Amino acid sequence: MSYILLHNPSCSTSRNGLDLLDNAGVEVDLRKYMNASEALSEDELRDIAKKMGVSSPREFLREKDAKKFELPDTASDDEVFAAMAENPRLIQRPIGINGDKAVLGRPIENLLDIR
């Protein structure tokens, strides 16, 4: 099984999470989801939520960007998934995925929980 890190190189928390995993000897495959060629689909986002064991995509939504991009507080989960797929800035990072488990790296030490 391969550890996948949803990574945004311009985010210091994401960079720190990658450093933590590297220092712990965890080999990761990076998915730079902000790049159009590596963007996440709605189905992939739903799968990540399931692997995280969360009931709503709001659990890994960047709230400050949601406000900036005018995602209403009343948006349904389907609308949030669609908005995240359309605008990856709305996705909190980093997220680690290993097999059937996923975790939000906030704090980054959470990334070690699924290695």
Say what the pTM is: 0.94
Task: Determine if the peptide bond prior to 107 is cis (ω within 30°).
Answer: yes
Q: Mind telling me the catalytic residues?
A: 11
pLDDT value of residue 58: 96
- What angle (nearest 5°) sits at the alpha carbon of residue 70, between those of residues 65 and 105? 25
For residue range 45-89, what is the model confidence (pLDDT) as tens digits?
A: 999 999 999 999 999 999 999 989 899 999 999 999 999 999 999
Side by side, the strands of the sheet bearing 28-31 are 28-31, 3-6, 95-98, 101-104
Domains of the chain: 3-114 (3.40.30.10)
d(CA 98, CA 21): 13
Confidence class of residue 23 from pLDDT cuts 50, 70 and 90?
Answer: very high
CA dihedral 62, 67, 68, 72 (to 10 degrees): 110
Question: Do 29 and 49 contact (CB within 8 A), yes or no?
Answer: no
